[in-house]
Amino acid sequence: MCQDHHNRGISLKDKKAHSQDHKNWSRRSFLQNLGLTGGAGIFMGGYSLSAMHNAALLPALGNGGVDDRILVLIRLKGGNDGLNTIIPLFDYGTYASNRPTIAVPQNNITNLSNAFGIPNTMQSLMPLWNDGAMKVINSVGYDNHNLSHFTSSDIWNSGNQNIEMDLNKSGWLGRYILNQKPDYLENLPDIPAAIKVSSGSNITYHNPNRIDLAVNFNSTDRLQEIAETGLLYDTENLPDDCYYGEQVGFLRSLLNVTANYAGVISDAFNLGSNDVSYESNELSRQLSIVARLIKGRLGTKLYMVTLNGFDTHEQQNQKHPQLMNELSTAVNSFYADLQSADVDQNVLSMTFSEFGRRVRENSGGTDHGTAAPVMLFGPSLNGNGILGQDPDMDDLDNTGNMKHGTDFRSIYATVLEYWLCLDPMSVDNILGNDYQRLDNMGIDCMSVSTSETPVAQNVSHKAIPQGDGSTIIEYTLDRPGLTNVTIYSFFGHKISTLQTGYQNAGTHKLRFINKLGGARTAPLVYKIHSGNKVESGKFIVTN
């Protein structure tokens, strides 16, 4: 019998199941890179061309002065331990008692505030924090958190908790690309829409048919090679067999012509330069190339880089500090490099991971968990800060995991609307719901259409009796969103639904016609639900 995929390998005792989950994860990556699951990829020479010939956007995706804005996703693959990343000093005793061997000692912590700190291995981030270019959002997750690497990664990358069952396998930024350019695959612009480095089968940029809309380099070496030479495949060093070598040469030449972004990438790489020294590690190499492409004015707005190794069931004291140091030094160098060309203000970076880790250690490591912090970087954040709900290590779910306070899709919604400057209705369509925007991230859209839209929903309302016995329910929405207006009896029985669906900001009026029999007068209740705001009022109807 197959094991429950949702709980595969979540703890150290599930070693066999945990190993199988990783094998399935790797197998899916391998198959997708060969194009066997989506039918779009071709794998030759060590990297995927799954969308090199069809992944591009117009040079300007937005309007109103936001054309140069760039989003860099930093994937912490494997499930990052949030409690050892952003350490809860306000409840250090509970933290340390749950982690007798892996808690970061107090003398190895650098304070971000009186309530939170980071391990000293992350000190390279302090210049960004002190310059107001770093924010932390605590307790990020979602309801009924899935603890499988495979499935939870897809949930985060798609924004869809039903991704396993849904035939639409698109990613949240794949939908963003198509929102901006619906005829994307039929009428290709000239620059890559998105570039992924060492991110494999990650579905963030997939369209509904599983076609990866990102230029996907499965290793930093391949991206470096193409960026330096502008060539995708070697058409000189072919197999000795005459016929076979001729066919391989023809195919490689065809791909080199079709996948014409290599030349654009190479031009930008050669125009840009790295003006700071990066550490000799994989994430630093990835970000150094991204910085060079940005400084070379490639025009791509979306990037993803990956740091692997966060599945710390064992030997966490050896693994996690090293990973945190690699992350911190790479991000510090990246922004120093961007600042040298005065483009750091245009680049927002964000970490994400498929899940956090459990509060209590398992003797040397941590098992799969739920809520964890998300870190954001860039001077466009306009100040440092620790946002979201403080982690509560005493109020845990029945598996010993923390409860989330911020849905990860609220962060996506805020980034889409207030960084990439989409109109609110498009954001809600992309994410499938009107998730609450965060009002303290610091980013702002310069576009007139969104800068005047409040971050949080507010609803003012009243009931106005009419001379014919009907009642007008009048309400004003501060921002657009999915809105339901329902009439109930005073005892909670639903009588009528007056409105369901998306409504623009502004004042709306709905008429309720009383068709109740019985008493001459009756008290009723109306409920208005828009976004995360619920308002209600009462009124009297007469027969």
**CA 311 – CA 319 distance, rounded (Å):** 9
**CATH 2.60.40.10 region(s) of the chain?**
459-542
Q: How confident is the model at residue 148 (pLDDT cuts 50, 70, 90)?
A: very high
Does position 285 have pLDDT exceeding 90, yes or no?
yes
Q: Are 325 and 367 in contact (CB under 8 A)?
A: no
Q: What's the fold here for domain 5-451?
A: Alkaline Phosphatase, subunit A (3.40.720)
472, with CB counted inside 10 A (0-12, 13-18, 19+), is middle
- pLDDT score at 258: 34
Does position 487 have pLDDT exceeding 50, yes or no?
yes
- pLDDT score at 264: 83
Does position 213 have pLDDT exceeding 50, yes or no?
yes
- pLDDT score at 49: 36
Closest among 353, 366, 273 to 307, alpha carbons compared: 353
Which phi and psi (to 5°) does residue 416 adopt?
-60, -45
- pLDDT score at 8: 59
Mean pLDDT of 258-285: 85
Does position 241 have pLDDT exceeding 90, yes or no?
no
Residues, the chain: 543
- pLDDT score at 68: 87
Dihedral angle of Cα 475, 478, 482, 483, to the nearest 10 degrees:
-10
- pLDDT score at 230: 57
- pLDDT score at 6: 45
Does position 469 have pLDDT exceeding 70, yes or no?
yes
Q: Between 181 and 408, whose confidence is greater?
A: 408
Mind listing the pLDDT tens digit for each residue in 124-133?
999 999 999 9
pLDDT > 90 in the chain, percent? 58
Q: Which two tokens stand for residue 76?
A: 């912490």
Mean pLDDT of 283-308: 95
Q: Between 184 and 390, whose confidence is greater?
A: 390
Residue 166 is classified by DSSP as: -
**CA distance readout (Å), 258 to 9, 32, 252, 308:** 42, 20, 10, 32
Mean pLDDT of 424-445: 91
Q: Between 2 and 476, whose confidence is greater?
A: 476
Most confident of 73-87, 161-175, 178-192: 73-87
**CA 524 – CA 102 distance, rounded (Å):** 57
Q: How confident is the model at residue 238 (pLDDT cuts 50, 70, 90)?
A: low
Mean pLDDT of 487-509: 90
**CA 118 – CA 7 distance, rounded (Å):** 30
Most confident of 59-63, 185-189, 390-394: 390-394
**CATH 3.40.720 region(s) of the chain?**
5-451
Does position 346 have pLDDT exceeding 60, yes or no?
yes
Closest among 216, 201, 158 to 32, alpha carbons compared: 201
> In CATH, what is the architecture of 459-542?
Sandwich (2.60)
Mean pLDDT of 510-538: 85
Q: Of 175-189, 238-252, 439-453, 484-498, where does mean pLDDT reach its minimum? A: 238-252
Residue with tokens 């306009």: 382
Q: Are 172 and 413 in contact (CB under 8 A)?
A: no
- pLDDT score at 246: 53
Residue 522 C-beta-side C-alpha neighbours within 13 Å: 19
Does position 156 have pLDDT exceeding 60, yes or no?
yes
Q: Of 214-218, 251-255, 289-293, where does mean pLDDT reach its minimum? A: 251-255
Q: What is the pTM of this model?
A: 0.79
Mind listing the pLDDT tens digit for each residue in 11-68?
666 666 665 665 554 544 443 333 323 222 333 233 333 333 333 333 333 333 467 8
